[in-house]
Amino acid sequence: MIEILPVTRENWEEAMLLSEGDTTFVSVAEGLAAAYVKPWDEALDPYVILYDEKIIGFIYVSYTPMSIDN
């Protein structure tokens, strides 16, 4: 079963292990840093992708809070 769950204090370290293979499109460390430092006018929500309860990927959703654009 595939699940997408938020990055939490319980799973962030396992998510960071994805970067060891360096085959990711989005660096986990950079994604987490941007989500919490917020260097742009965007909000980023980080998520892990699980397959059979094992983290296999990392993504984030980027959006502009209070934007009037549709």
Tell me, yes or no, whether 70 lies in a domain.
no
Tell me, yes or no, whether 35 lies in a domain.
yes
For residue 21, the model assigns a pLDDT of 62
Tell me, yes or no, whether 17 lies in a domain.
yes
Residue in 28, 70, 35 with CA at minimum distance from that of residue 49: 28
Tell me, yes or no, whether 33 lies in a domain.
yes
For residue 50, the model assigns a pLDDT of 96
C-alpha 15/C-alpha 24 separation (Å) is 11
pLDDT tens sequence across 14-66: 999 887 665 556 688 888 998 888 888 788 899 999 999 999 999 988 888 77
What is the number of domains present in the chain?
Answer: 1
Which structural domain range is residue 38 located in?
Answer: 2-63
Tell me, yes or no, whether 34 lies in a domain.
yes
Give the predicted TM-score (pTM) of the model: 0.80
pLDDT band at 10 (very low <50, low <70, confident <90, very high): very high
**What are the φ and ψ backbone dihedral angles of 63, each rounded to 5 degrees?**
-155, 160
For residue 18, the model assigns a pLDDT of 85
For residue 63, the model assigns a pLDDT of 85
